[in-house]
Amino acid sequence: MKRWLKDNVAGIAVVIGLFALWCAASAFDVVDEEFMPSPGDVWDALVAVNVYGYKSDTLLGHLVASLGRLLAALAIAIVTAVPLGLLSGLNKHVRSALNPIIEFYRPLPPLAYYTLLVLWLGIGDASKITLLFLACFAPIYVACVAAVLKMPASYTTAARTLGANTSQVFKLVVLPYCLPDVFTGVRTAVGVGYSTLVAAEMVAATSGIGWMVLDASNWLRYDVVFVGIFVMGFTGIIIDVALKSVERRIVPWKGHQ
């Protein structure tokens, strides 16, 4: 614990400073309290949403709904983007076939094609999970391709010289080398997916943290908006910490290549 505090003293100081600034802004009415609720108002809203819920469900229920959509999309993205990304890195023909599609849709704002997904897949979770999947797929795919392309050719040459076949080269050389970048891509995908969550839940949804934030903003319930933002932020941190913990166990050689 002491070591963690020592390593993160600057970050802790920044957080405390921002909180103090928020308290001061609320105390001196720098911004209308209707648009910037005080920390006390946000805390009261957090308790109220936990106990009484917000419209259709409690805070936990909204969070579970959102995480269910996000994690389902992330799992599908990992299962598809990792093998396709590694294969594209190894094979220029596969890369040339997939790159135009990825590079075309990757810069598009999610709302640009979400309406089409709703028309094709309906207003249920299928369209929302598909939108989140598309948002998560590109960062993982790009990270995998870049990892393979930056790998020194001498690694695979040495393995083949020692008698390794194609399968063994991939399993024992390519995959271990690329895993750190794969995890980086997954962590990036979580951030992108979470930022797309509001868009995914804004059409015909009645649950989810993203929907709660959007609905509360429509009704000028900015205390609830702040609650939703903080919950999304802290949940994102928890997911990222969990991914880092898994990465340390699976990829202990990261940084020692």
> Taking each helix axis from N to C terminus, what angle separates 222-250 and 209-218, rounded to the nearest 10 degrees?
160
* pLDDT attached to residue 161: 86
Residues forming a β-bridge with 54: 57
CATH number belonging to the domain at 33-250, selected among 3.60.20.10, 1.10.3720.10, 3.40.190.10, 1.10.3210.10: 1.10.3720.10
Q: What is the rounded distance in angstroms from the CA atom of residue 5 to the CA atom of residue 11?
A: 9
* pLDDT score, position 70: 92
Dmax over CA atoms of the chain, in Å, equals 73
Name residues of the chain where pLDDT drops below 70: 1-7, 255-257
Q: Which amino acid is at 189?
A: A
Cα(233)–Cα(245) distance, integer angstroms: 18
What was the pLDDT predicted at 88? 94
Q: Is the dihedral of CA 123, 58, 226, 8 positive or negative?
A: negative
At 91-114, the pLDDT tens digits run: 999 999 999 999 999 888 888 888
- pTM for the full predicted model: 0.86
Collapsed DSSP state (helix, strand, coil) of residue 57: strand
Rounded Cα distance between 59 and 207, Å, is 10
Cα–Cα distance measured from residue 134 to residue 255, given in angstroms and rounded to the nearest whole number? 30
- What pLDDT, in 10s, does the model give residues 22-71? 888 888 877 777 778 889 999 999 999 998 999 878 999 999 999 999 99
Neighbours of 25 (CB within 10 A): 14
- Whole-angstrom Cα distance, residue 249 to residue 52? 40
Give the separation between CA 106 and CA 88, rounded to whole angstroms. Answer: 17
- Identify the pLDDT of residue 2: 67
Distance, in Å, from the CA atom of 240 to the CA atom of 191, rounded to the nearest integer, reads 9
pLDDT for res 111: 80
Calculate the alpha carbon distances from 213 to 63, 90, 94 in Å.
11, 43, 41
Instruction: Pull the structure tokens for residue 223.
Output: 């205390």
Task: Return the domain boundaries, the chain.
Answer: 1-30, 33-250
